[in-house]
Chain A
Amino acid sequence: MSTLKAGQQQGDPTRKQRREQARTQRREIEHAQATAAVRRTRHSLLGIVVAVVVTGIVVVLIASAGSGEKHIKPGSAEATAASSEVTTLLTGIPQNGNVLGRPTARVTLQYFGDLECPVCKGFTTGALPSVIGKWVRGGELKVEYRSLETATREPEVFRSQQVAALAAGRQNRLWNFVETFYHEQGEEDTGYVTESFIQGIAKQVPGLNLAAWTSERGEPALTNLLAGDEQAASNNGLDGTPAFLLGRSGGALTQLEPSSFTEPGPFNEAIEKLVKS
Chain B
Amino acid sequence: MSSRALRFTLIMLTSAGLGIAGYLTYVHYAGIDPVCTAGGSCEKVQTSVYSELAGVPVALIGLLGYVSILGLLIAREGERTRFAMMALTLAGFAFSAYLTYRELYSIHAICEWCATSAGILTVMAPLSVWRFLRSSPSAPTPSRSLGSPREQRVHAGNLPSG
- Chain A residues packing against B (C-beta within 8 Å): 34-35, 38-39, 41-43, 45-46, 49-50, 53-54, 56-57, 60-61, 64, 68-69, 153-154, 187-191
Contacts and interface: CB of A to CB of B under 8 A. Distances in A.
Nearest to B106: A191
Contacts of A187: 49
Nearest to A48: B87
B94 A189 contact: no
Interface in B122-150: 129, 132-133, 137
Centre residue among A46, A54, A187, A188 by max chain B CB count within 10 A: A46
A35 B139 CA distance: 11
Given A43-B133, A153-B109, A189-B49, 15 more contacts: A39-B133, A46-B129, A49-B90, A49-B91, A54-B94, A56-B94, A57-B95, A57-B98, A60-B53, A153-B40, A153-B44, A154-B108, A189-B48, A190-B107, A191-B107
A52 to B, nearest CB: 8
A14 B108 CA distance: 79
A53 B107 contact: no
Interface in B36-94: 40, 44, 47-50, 53, 83, 86-87, 90-91, 94
A174 B30 CA distance: 41
Contacts of B29: none
B133 to A, nearest CB: 6
Contact of B50 (A34, A56, A68): A68
Contact of A68 (B40, B94, B106): B106
A20 B137 CA distance: 25
B160 interface: no
Contacts of A43: 133
B31 interface: no
22 contacts: A38-B137, A39-B137, A42-B133, A46-B86, A46-B132, A46-B133, A49-B86, A49-B91, A56-B94, A57-B94, A57-B98, A60-B53, A60-B98, A61-B98, A68-B49, A68-B50, A68-B106, A189-B48, A189-B49, A189-B107, A191-B106, A191-B108
Nearest to A156: B108
Contacts of B44: 153, 189
B105 A191 contact: yes
A41 B80 CA distance: 12
Closest 5 CB pairs of A and B: A38-B137, A189-B48, A53-B94, A49-B87, A191-B106
B90 A50 contact: yes
